[in-house]
Amino acid sequence: MEISRQWAMPDSRTFNIKCINSFIMKYFNVGMLSIDPFANQNKIAKITNDLNTEYGTTYNIDALDFLKTFESNSIDFCFYDPPYSLRQISECYKNVGIKTTTEMMQSSWRSNHLAEISRILKVGGYCLSFGWNSSGIGLNNGFELQEILLVCHGGSHNDTICVCEKKIQGRLF
């Protein structure tokens, strides 16, 4: 496993940050069946989703509902760049006129996404996760850590932690 650290100015469009884009391109292959449940303006994945219809994504549904549309072991590559905080989750839903629920503000919101990603990714498939923690999908879900990139934005800005994991087996329990 490789751990590296870069410095970059913050950008709300994570994939536009040069060092993060380079990290993505180390693992991404255009021929892969790829998905992005929180695509925002990003068009790297073949199948994209975002609640906001202004982004022109393939789907405009809740991320968990989007992930549930795929067959088990059918996806080669998944981008996972959800809202990083409870405040960001709330803002994303409010911006499209959806009231947040108690369930959205619990840790199960994220763990439900990770369970679905684990289910739909093929063995040998990759998930790139972006956020403020390095937990990724995890060994218990059958994933092996490949690389962590820590992107420092300086000052009072939180770092972006980029995690690459490869699915090595089905879920352990």
Name the pLDDT band for 86 (thresholds 50, 70, 90). Answer: low
Q: Dump pLDDT digits (tens) for 96-154.
A: 667 776 766 666 778 899 999 999 999 999 999 998 888 889 988 899 999 999 999 88
Write the CB contacts of 28 (distance below 8 Å, at least 6 apart in sequence): 34, 44, 77, 126, 128
DSSP 73-137: T-EEEEEE---SSHHHHHHHHHHTT----TGGGSTHHHHHHHHHHHHHEEEEEEEEEEES----S
Range with lowest mean pLDDT among 26-30, 82-86, 111-115, 140-144: 82-86
Q: How far apart are CA 132 and CA 83, in angstroms?
A: 10
Name the pLDDT band for 80 (thresholds 50, 70, 90). Answer: very high
- Give yes or no for residue 173 having a pLDDT over 60: no
Of the candidates 97, 95, 129, 114, the residue with the CA atom closest to the CA atom of residue 171: 114
In this prediction, residue 169 carries a pLDDT of 87
- Give yes or no for residue 155 having a pLDDT over 90: no
> What is the 8-class DSSP label of residue 59?
B
- Give yes or no for residue 12 having a pLDDT over 90: no
Between CA 165 and CA 132, with CA 152 as vertex, the angle to 5 degrees is 50
Q: How far apart are CA 71 and CA 74, in angstroms?
A: 6
In this prediction, residue 89 carries a pLDDT of 66
Domains in the chain with CATH codes = 2-167 (3.40.50.150)
Q: Dump pLDDT digits (tens) for 141-154.
A: 899 999 999 999 88
In this prediction, residue 108 carries a pLDDT of 78
